[in-house]
Amino acid sequence: MQQTSSKMISTIANIDHIKQVNCATIYKVIEQHAPISRVKIAKVSQLAPASVTKITRHLIEKGIITETERQPSTGGRCAISLAPNSQKIYVIAAKIGRKFLSISHYNLAGKKSIDKRFNIEDKKGESLISLLRREIKSLIDDELQQGNSISAISITLSGLINPQQGKIIYTELNGLNNFPLVQVIEQAFNIPTFIGNHTRALALAEHYFGATQQSQDSIVISIHHGVGSGIIMQGKALLGVNCNIGEIGHIQVNPTGKQCHCGNFGCLETEVSDTVIVEKVQIAIENGEVAPFNNKTLNIEDIYLAAASGDPLCEKIVSEAASYLGKTIAILVNILNPEKIVISGKITTAKNTLFSAIQQCIVHQSLPDFHKKVIIQATELQPNSTIASFALIKKAIYEGDLLQKINIKN
């Protein structure tokens, strides 16, 4: 008896899962091909016309898609087309950075209408979460005043995150270790909330909106204060059972290098990051080397620009860093054989120095068959702190159950 009921529960769960997947597939087809008729949706999605009719009716009732103008069909008859109702579905995407909290308001088509930024250098733990809660509430209230609601919230940050448990495991910043962020935000607002590591989410953003849209296997490497990567394999973000894959910043590239915050020595992150490159230029100047900065406070933008215009000192330091990065990229090429590797960060300003050093490494340190095919390029996303966070919401729509949870008024 017990066996029968557990079998029934698992069958129901499977049916629910299939419904969820079919619903997401149809929504994605509508989003990518709108305006599109039901007949064409069935063709593109390879689902039965009856399922398409049922699911699209459900999505119309929920206000997620809408019927649009009639399109003349080849047979002379007119078919009603469908399109996302994305102008009516609003979400909040936030990023907790090292110095700033960025918080934006998007519609589901990805149009950002509000973008706020707060300095959080003096905030830790509860005071940071209070600021986050207050600003989310203010955006929700603004939306309510206009008769709209917020359908989802997402937050990215650096460190080890468990998106399934909605928990920050470890972050170097802000005193939020082992913090159940999703639970705290969902309890406050009763809105589906998602969190993720910022670089892993950036790889998704590049896959949905940027340079890797046409690639199934890709890697995004982000170089800022630290170095991290996000890996997409067969169109899906690679997270593993422990939810964290891609911490390339802690691959040892220089055994005689300095100690990293992880405790080991000569990690990639201690040889390549905006902070390290500023330090290296500073030390070289103190040792009497010539740099084109005339006693100005050093900043990373000037260093990368100087490297790009051929200043020997800056070029040498960026090239050395790029070689360490290239060594790591060659390892990634050997292990993962990706179609594309995208570099994100200000270092791409010095693109000639950067990409030629990387290319040299992968040619000599990875399998010819692999490196001949891989494309290495700079990001195609416009500077936007919260686009990675917004990508987590897209993922919840395409791969998760967010569509089932959205219910908007027409």
State the residues that interact with Zn ion by CB under 5 A. 250, 260, 262, 264, 267
For 202-221, give one letter per residue: b (16+ CB within 10 A) or e.
bbbbbbbbbbbeebebbbbb
CB 238 within 8 A of CB 246: yes
The number of C-alpha atoms within 13 Å of 52 and in the hemisphere containing its C-beta is 20
Residue number, 205 or 267, with CB nearest to Zn ion:
267
CB burial of residue 126 (10 Å; 0-12, 13-18, 19+):
exposed
Q: Which is nearer to Zn ion, 112 or 250 (CB)?
A: 250
Closest CA to 199 of 252, 160, 172: 160
Q: What is the 3-state secondary structure (H, E, C) of the chain?
A: CHHHHHHHHHHHHHHHHHHHHHHHHHHHHHHHHCCEEHHHHHHHHCCCHHHHHHHHHHHHHCCCEEEEEEEECCCCCEEEEEEECHHHCEEEEEEECCCEEEEEEEECCCCEEEEEEEECCCCCHHHHHHHHHHHHHHHHHHHHHCCCCEEEEEEEECCEEECCCCEEEECCCCCCCCECHHHHHHHHHCCCEEEEEHHHHHHHHHHHHCCCCCCCCEEEEEECCCEEEEEEECCEECCCCCCCCCCHHHCECCCCCCECCCCCECEHHHHCCHHHHHHHHHHHHHCCCCCCCCCCCCCHHHHHHHHHCCCHHHHHHHHHHHHHHHHHHHHHHHHHCCCEEEEECHHHHHHHHHHHHHHHHHHHHCCHHHHCCCEEEECCCCCCCCHHHHHHHHHHHHCCCHHHHCCCCC
Question: Are 139 and 114 contacting, i.e. CB atoms less than 8 angstroms apart?
Answer: yes
Say if residues 228 and 247 touch (Cβ distance below 8 Å): yes
The two tokens of residue 163 are 């998106």
